[in-house]
């Protein structure tokens, strides 16, 4: 007796096609994700592999944070 169950064959083929489509979608959607780099500003001053433009931006960020802290401490202090 032959195995003529075409429904199970169609189900198997459908799953293969669905998995193949999902793999292709995941490959093409994750190609351009990591175009940028993330640098730690805590290491910017001493690490030799960090570019000078990044070092300057980290200095600016640190300076802005320092100014905000100074302004907040002036507001909190009481002068008589």
Domain ranges of the chain: 6-76
Per-residue pLDDT, 25? 84
**Alpha-carbon distances of 45 from 24, 57, 60, 63, 69, rounded to whole Å:** 43, 11, 12, 14, 21
State pLDDT tens for residues 1-22. Answer: 455 556 666 677 788 889 899 8
13-44 burial, b at 16+ Cβ within 10 Å, e below that, comes to eeeeeeeeeeeeeeeeeeeeeeeeeeeebeeb
pTM: 0.51
How would DSSP label each residue in 1-31?
-----HHHHHHHHHHHHHHHHHHHHHHHHST
DSSP 42: G
């Amino acid at each position: 007796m032959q195995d003529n169950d075409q429904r199970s064959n169609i189900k198997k083929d459908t799953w293969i096609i669905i998995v193949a489509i999902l793999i292709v979608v995941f490959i093409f959607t994750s190609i351009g994700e990591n175009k940028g780099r993330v640098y730690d500003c805590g290491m910017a001053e001493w690490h030799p592999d960090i570019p000078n433009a990044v070092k300057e931006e980290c200095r600016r960020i640190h300076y802005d944070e320092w100014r905000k802290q100074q302004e907040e401490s002036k507001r909190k202090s009481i002068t008589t």
